[in-house]
């Protein structure tokens, strides 16, 4: 792993039975902390797509007139939101963005659901 060489640390990757990923970093305390920060920064800036539950019957509320609600949420959070077509009966939507931006979208969606 490049980070291990860059900071002169050992990095062990462990995957649990529940598929949780754990990294164990060993070495000089200062180097371990620097490597940890580099890994955290890298992980937080990666673009990912995730799903979140959202009731199908309230997709129109999420969209808003001419899609303005959706556009505003995307603008505020920096994430992209994809709503499946109405033929899709699943109560989920897709969110693409960084870890922080997708988290912000999920929070906003939870607030919308509470208000319904």
Give pTM, 2 decimals. 0.66
Q: Which tens digits make up the pLDDT trace of 33-73?
A: 999 999 998 888 888 999 999 988 888 889 999 999 999 99
Domain 48-115: CATH superfamily is K Homology domain, type 1 (3.30.1370.10)
What's the confidence (pLDDT) of residue 36?
Answer: 94
Cα dihedral 55, 61, 67, 70 sign: negative
How do the domains of the chain map onto residue ranges?
2-45, 48-115
How far apart are alpha carbons 113 and 52 in whole angstroms?
A: 12
């Amino acid at each position: 792993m490049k980070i291990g060489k860059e900071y002169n640390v050992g990095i062990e990757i462990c995957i649990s039975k529940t598929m949780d990923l754990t990294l164990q970093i060993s070495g000089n305390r200062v180097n371990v902390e620097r490597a940890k920060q580099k890994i955290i920064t890298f992980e937080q800036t990666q673009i990912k797509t995730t799903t979140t539950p959202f009731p199908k019957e309230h997709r129109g509320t999420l969209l808003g007139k001419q899609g303005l609600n959706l556009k505003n949420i995307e603008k505020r959070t920096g994430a992209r939101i994809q709503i499946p077509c109405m033929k899709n009966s699943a109560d989920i939507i897709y969110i693409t963005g960084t870890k922080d931006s997708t988290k912000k979208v999920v929070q906003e969606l939870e607030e919308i659901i509470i208000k319904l």
